[in-house]
Amino acid sequence: MLITLYGPDSYRRIKKVNEIVGEYRKKYTGLSYERIDVSLDDSLEKLRNFVSTRAMFDKAKLLVIDNPLEAKDQKKLREVLKSNAKDKETTIVINSTQKPPATYKFAYEAPSTSQEFPALKGEKIGAFVTQISKEYGVSIDAKTKSAIVDIFGSDTWGIATEINRLSLEQSGIVESRIKTDYFQLINTVKRGYSAKDRIVALELILSERKDDPARVFNSLAYRLLNEKEANRFADYDIAVKSGKLEYEEVLLDLALGPTPHSFI
């Protein structure tokens, strides 16, 4: 049987992959399990060997295939998948950022199943923030929730990572503080029209809150306005990673640099 999981929302998609793996491991104590990235060399041979080898204990076999559309030999990959599509003892989970095309139509025919994970939009983003907050046991007020949605948008990995950090830092309670609210301060550094306001906000982030400069830079890099602004952040990133600048220097330059309207 084939289970095709696809879509740009990698956080929810990979979470689903892990749920399936967990369910199979719980059900079959001697499960034969393998995960193969078929974009890598010799991966198809490894794939063939796995599906052709009989399980030693439980009959169940589980295989997760990553990046199917990046496999060098698509024809051979489809042949292996199609030949195992109705195998009751072998379950193959196809994990893809894009929907496999019509040449993979067999993956959408019974008994195989599929599930799409599109990028979240509108109210669904807010619902996701609420869901993840509950999972991590974090109580988030409306203002903080709105700020998280504004900063991270449909980046579910960013949302989940931030809420996880808040759960560890705040022990489950996140209070909205006007002067030291991280999200408000980030928005001021990023979009404040006054250089003085941007510098004050940056000082509160680094000195009062003592947030990690790398985290601050990454927060500022979310949801950029256009290609010019994106290129500017990319140049800063290269400069830091090559050792030419420190994150603190970059953040100061950003706060002192062009006001938002100069990017538009």
CATH architecture of 120-176: Orthogonal Bundle (1.10)
Q: What are phi and psi of 35, to 5 degrees?
A: -130, 125
pTM of the model: 0.63
CATH architecture of 2-116: 3-Layer(aba) Sandwich (3.40)
Q: What are phi and psi of 185, to 5 degrees?
A: -65, -40
pLDDT digits (tens, 9 = 90+) for 130-161: 999 998 888 888 888 888 888 888 888 888 87
When the pLDDT of each residue in the chain is averaged and rounded to a whole number, the result is 83
Sequence ranges of the domains in the chain: 2-116, 120-176, 178-264
**Mean pLDDT confidence for 257-262:** 47
For residue 261, is pLDDT > 50? no
pLDDT digits (tens, 9 = 90+) for 79-106: 999 988 888 888 999 999 999 999 999 9
Q: Say what the pLDDT of residue 172 is.
A: 44
- Give the percent of the chain with pLDDT over 70: 89
Provide DSSP, 31-50. -EEEEEETTSTTHHHHHHHH
Q: Which residues contact 133 (CB under 8 A, 6 or more apart)?
A: 139, 140, 145, 163
